[in-house]
């Protein structure tokens, strides 16, 4: 206990000497924001460290090195004490931390007791993690409010600013990011998502006096690479695959799907959804089942993951045609995706990436080979 007290006291003292401490929170886009800001600060000449905790938890250091975080147990907020102490020893000018808390109490402890950010960047608030964060946006917002110390400046988009004012009585030091989309366009990414993300990055960097041209350069480089990873075409198999697993929630997924359908000739293509269902996220499975049942009852749905049987029951309850539902275990996915049925297939991978690592690694290798 004495060791933990001393370690914590040392961390608090070290953090006070770091002028820029940014906590990135929200439903989607946290890891992307951390990576972009880290690269911008580095190219600006600042000594910066960062930590992500999403699809691939990593530590990023000022000289450009990256270290994967290997965990023997699920992520917890107290792991940040160890990692922050390691980063603070380098005496950086800035630390950028992705929030890895979901409950209101852990959000409060991470922000007010462990990290003490002077900037909180909230990317968006969308209905997700309902088992933990509540059944509606107001409840979600009240949970996220706990990550904001009274002394911090909030940077967020207009929709989140409105939710904060509606659901919380507190007064905020608020910077509302509301910029136009940059001129670059991305074939596989909705313009509205780029515009929202750019406005956050631009506002944050402007507030710490970093030139906009530098921000644009890093921002566009990141999204060009992300754009290339989303869709992959296999002409010999008549297959086009869109990896939307990272979208996670229904609203984000819908924006990507609609964008793809508006920019693709779909008349002669068989539309297929590969839905990965997590057993520990039944409400998310329920949302996706409702979405598919309402909008894509003429399509095929391939269900995989630990919660695939629950997903099938939910889709059947949505009156989804049983003959259009297929259950796949993780060993059957590749064969099903790449079987040559004689028809052009457009496959959207949706739900969540957890449990799909082997399949996604194989897709990644195929992409690199091409």
What pLDDT does 280 receive?
86
Please give the backbone phi and psi of residue 346, each rounded to the nearest 5 degrees, phi first: -115, 110
Tell me which residues of the chain have a pLDDT lower than 70: 3-4, 6, 55, 72-75, 131, 169-170, 266-267, 367, 370
Sheet holding 344-350, edge to edge: 231-234, 239-243, 344-350, 269-276, 300-304, 325-327
Query: What is the CATH class of 238-369?
Result: alpha beta
What pLDDT does 361 receive?
80
The per-residue pLDDT for range 257-270, each reduced to its tens digit, is 999 998 877 667 89
Q: Which CATH architecture has domain 2-228?
A: 3-Layer(aba) Sandwich (3.40)
CB 230 within 8 A of CB 244: yes
CB 25 within 8 A of CB 144: yes
Least Cα distance to 287 among 138, 134, 127, 141 occurs for 127
What pLDDT does 324 receive?
95
CA angle 237, 239, 244 (to 5 degrees): 145
Going from N- to C-terminal start, the domains of the chain cover: 2-228, 238-369
3-state secondary structure of 25: strand
The per-residue pLDDT for range 279-295, each reduced to its tens digit, is 988 999 999 999 999 99
What pLDDT does 37 receive?
98
Q: Which two tokens stand for residue 345?
A: 């297939």
The single residue listed with the structure tokens 């980063």 is 87
């Amino acid at each position: 206990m004495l060791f933990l007290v001393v370690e914590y006291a040392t961390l608090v003292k070290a953090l006070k000497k770091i002028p820029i401490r940014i906590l990135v929170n929200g439903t989607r886009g946290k890891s992307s924001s951390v990576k972009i800001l880290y690269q911008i600060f580095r190219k600006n000449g600042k000594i910066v460290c960062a930590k992500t905790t999403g699809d691939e938890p990593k530590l990023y250091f000022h000289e450009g090195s990256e270290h994967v975080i290997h965990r023997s147990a699920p992520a917890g907020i107290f792991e940040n004490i160890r990692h922050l102490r390691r980063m603070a020893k380098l005496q950086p000018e800035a630390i950028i931390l992705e929030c890895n808390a979901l409950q209101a109490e852990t959000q409060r402890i991470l922000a007010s007791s462990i990290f003490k950010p002077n900037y909180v960047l909230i990317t968006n608030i969308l209905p997700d993690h309902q088992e933990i964060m509540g059944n509606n946006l107001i409840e979600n917002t009240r949970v996220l409010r706990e990550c904001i110390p009274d002394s911090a400046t909030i940077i967020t988009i207009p929709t989140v600013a409105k939710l904060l004012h509606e659901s919380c009585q507190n007064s905020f030091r608020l910077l509302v990011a509301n910029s136009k989309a940059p001129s670059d366009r991305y074939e596989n990414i909705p313009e509205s998502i780029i515009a929202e993300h750019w406005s956050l990055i631009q506002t944050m960097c402007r507030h710490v006096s970093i030139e906009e041209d530098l921000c644009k350069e890093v921002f566009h480089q990141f999204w060009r690479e992300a754009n290339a990873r989303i869709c992959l075409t296999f002409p010999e198999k008549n297959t086009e695959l869109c990896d939307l697993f990272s979208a996670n929630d229904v609203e984000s997924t819908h924006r990507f799907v609609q964008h793809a359908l508006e920019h693709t000739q779909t008349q002669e293509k068989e539309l297929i959804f590969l839905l990965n269902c997590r057993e520990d996220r039944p409400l998310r499975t329920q949302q996706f089942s409702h979405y598919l049942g309402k909008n894509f009852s003429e399509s095929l749905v391939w269900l995989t993951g630990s919660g695939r049987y629950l997903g099938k029951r939910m889709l059947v309850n949505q009156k989804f045609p049983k003959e259009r539902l297929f259950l796949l275990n993780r060993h059957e996915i590749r064969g099903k995706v790449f079987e040559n049925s004689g028809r052009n297939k457009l496959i959207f991978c949706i739900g969540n990436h957890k449990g799909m690592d082997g399949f996604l690694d194989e897709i990644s290798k195929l992409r690199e080979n091409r």
